[in-house]
Chain A
Amino acid sequence: MKKTTTIVIVENAFRKSAIKQFLFETKIAQTIEFKSSLLECMSGTCQPAFLIIDSELLPEPHQVSLDKIKQKNSDCKILLLHHGAVDTHILPYIDGHIQFFDSEEEILHSFRTFFTDEKHPFVNKMVDNTLSERELEVVKLVALGKTNKEISDALYISAHTVVSHRKNITNKLGIKTIAGLAVYAVLNGLIDPEEVNK
C-alpha cells in the first residue's frame, strides 16, 4: 500500500487548528497526524508521505536535520513553515515553504502545489472522493440539523438539488445518517461541537 500519511509537526493549538483548516480547504484527503517534535517521527515505523514542520521545531542546523529526514525516507516531501525569509541553503532539501505572514491565497496555493505534485500521482485519484465546495456547505447544514427545505432556501438551490447533493455526500463519505454526518463535520472542523447541541 502507498503511504498517504501526512505528519504535521507544530506546537501550539492555534497553529494546529489553522493548519487543519487549510488542509481541509485544499480538499486533498489525507491521513493527518500531529506531532509535537521531530523526534517522534524519526522512529522506524514512521514513514510519512508528506511532512509539514514548523521551522522552530526543526533542530539546528536545519540543513543537517532535513538531510537526515531525507536519508531515512527519501520519498517524503517536506513543507517548511517559517517566520522570516527562508535560508536559500536549505531550499534543495525542501519541497515547499510557507511563511506565517503569507496571504490566505498564497498559503492555499502552496499547500496545493505541495500535495499535488506529479511525484505523487495517487493524490489525484483520491481527490475524486473529496467533497465539492457545495457539498461541504450541504454537509455543514445537514450536520446542524437543517431540513432539506431550509438548506434549499439557505443556498438558493432547488430541493431536488439538495437531495442529489446528499446522495453524493453519502456515497463519497460512506456515512448515511444525520448524526454520523454531524460527527464527520466536527472531526473535520466544519462545525463547532457546541453548534451541534443547539
Chain B
Amino acid sequence: MLVTESTKLADVIHHNYLLLPILNRFNIQLGFGNKTVKEICSEQGVHLQFFLEIVNSFLDNDYFPETELQSFPLKYIIDYIKRSHVFYVEFKVPQIEKLIAELLEKASVENRQSYKLIQNFFIEYKAELIEHIDKEEDNIHPYVLKLDEAIQNNKVDSELRALVKKESITLYADDHDNIEDKLFDLKNLMIKYLPPTEDYSLSNAILYELFRLERDLGDHSRIEEKVLIPKVEAIEKQILGA
C-alpha cells in the first residue's frame, strides 16, 4: 500500500495497526472520521511530505522517496525521533518491564530463578537502550540542528566548517547492532529455552510486545540511516563546499 495525500487515514490504520503509535508521535488522535491524510496534516500542523515519508517507509522497508519529497527541515526528523524515544523509554519499556515483573511474581519456586535471569537481561537491555538514546540526544541532535539552522539562515562560517570536519555524522552512523541483537536474543530465550509458565497469556503478551518493540525500533533505525544521515551528509558537503 502506498499512502498518498488523498488516502483516508482510517484506511491506513486498517491496513496496518502498528502505525498507531506513529500517529501519536505526530499528535494525531483517533476520531478522525473519513478525513484524508492531507486534511488531517493541515489541521494538526503536520508537515505533509514528512508524514507521508514516515508512514510509507514504515509500511515498505524499501520505500525510498524522490529527492524533491525530502525537502522538509531536519528539525522535523529530530523532533519525530525524540518523540519515538519518549515512546520507548516512558511507555514501551516500562510496559514490558511490568509484564516481566508479573511473570516473576507468578512463577513457581523452581522457575523463579530462570525468570529472574530474563528480568536482569531486560534491565541490562534497557540501560543500553537509554545510553544509546542519551548519546544521540546529547551529541548528535544538537549537532544536526546547528547545521540545519546555519543552512536555513545562510550563516556558514569557518567555525562551522571546522566543526563539520571534526564531528561528521558518519562517526555516528553506527551501532544499533548490539541493541538489536539483545532484543533478538531475549525473544529466542523466551521462545526456545525458558521453562514454560502456567500463565501462557502472560508470556504471549511479553512476546507480542517484544516483537512490536523490535519492529518499531527497526523502523526507527531505518529512518536514522536512510533519511537523517544522508540528509546530514548532503548538508555537510554543502557546508564544506561553501
Contacts and interface: CB of A to CB of B under 8 A. Distances in A.
A31 B195 CA distance: 8
Interface in A147-198: 173-177, 179-180, 183-184, 186-188, 193
A179 B195 contact: no
A59 B118 CA distance: 37
Of listed B184, B188, B189, residue having the most chain A CB within 10 A: B189
B185 A188 contact: no
A122 interface: no
B14 interface: no
Contact of B188 (A16, A34, A174): A174
A33 interface: yes
A33 B196 contact: yes
Complex A-B, nearest 9 residue pairs according to Cβ-Cβ distance, in ascending order: A180-B185, A176-B181, A174-B188, A183-B117, A177-B181, A175-B185, A177-B185, A187-B193, A177-B182
A176 B118 contact: no
Contacts of B118: 183
Nearest to B111: A34
30 contacts: A31-B196, A33-B196, A34-B110, A173-B188, A173-B192, A174-B188, A174-B192, A175-B189, A176-B181, A176-B184, A176-B185, A177-B178, A177-B185, A179-B121, A179-B124, A180-B121, A180-B181, A180-B182, A180-B185, A180-B186, A180-B189, A183-B117, A183-B118, A183-B185, A184-B189, A186-B114, A187-B117, A187-B189, A187-B193, A193-B117
B110 A183 contact: no
A16 B192 CA distance: 21
B117 A186 contact: yes
B86 interface: no
Q: Is the interface of B mostly helix, strand, loop or mixed?
A: helix
What band does the interface of chain B fall in when counting residues whose beta carbon is under 8 Å from A? 20 to 34
Contacts, number: 49
Nearest to A34: B110
Interface string B188-207: 11001111100000000000
Contacts of A180: 121, 181-182, 185-186, 188-189
Given A33-B196, A174-B188, A175-B188, A187 B114 contact: yes
Chain A residues touching B, range: 10 to 19
Nearest to A31: B196
Interface string A42-84: 0000000000000000000000000000000000000000000
A16 B113 CA distance: 15
Given A179-B124, A180-B182, A188 B117 contact: no
Interface in A1-35: 16, 31, 33-34
A174 B182 CA distance: 11
Contacts of A179: 121, 124, 182, 185
Given A180-B185, A180-B186, A184-B189, 20 more contacts: A33-B195, A33-B196, A173-B192, A175-B189, A177-B182, A179-B121, A179-B185, A180-B121, A180-B182, A180-B188, A180-B189, A183-B185, A183-B189, A183-B193, A184-B193, A186-B117, A187-B114, A187-B117, A187-B189, A188-B193
A16 B193 CA distance: 18
A8 B124 CA distance: 33
Contacts of B114: 186-187
Contacts of B185: 175-177, 179-180, 183
Nearest to B128: A179
Nearest to B189: A183
B108 to A, nearest CB: 10
Nearest to B179: A177
Contacts of B124: 179
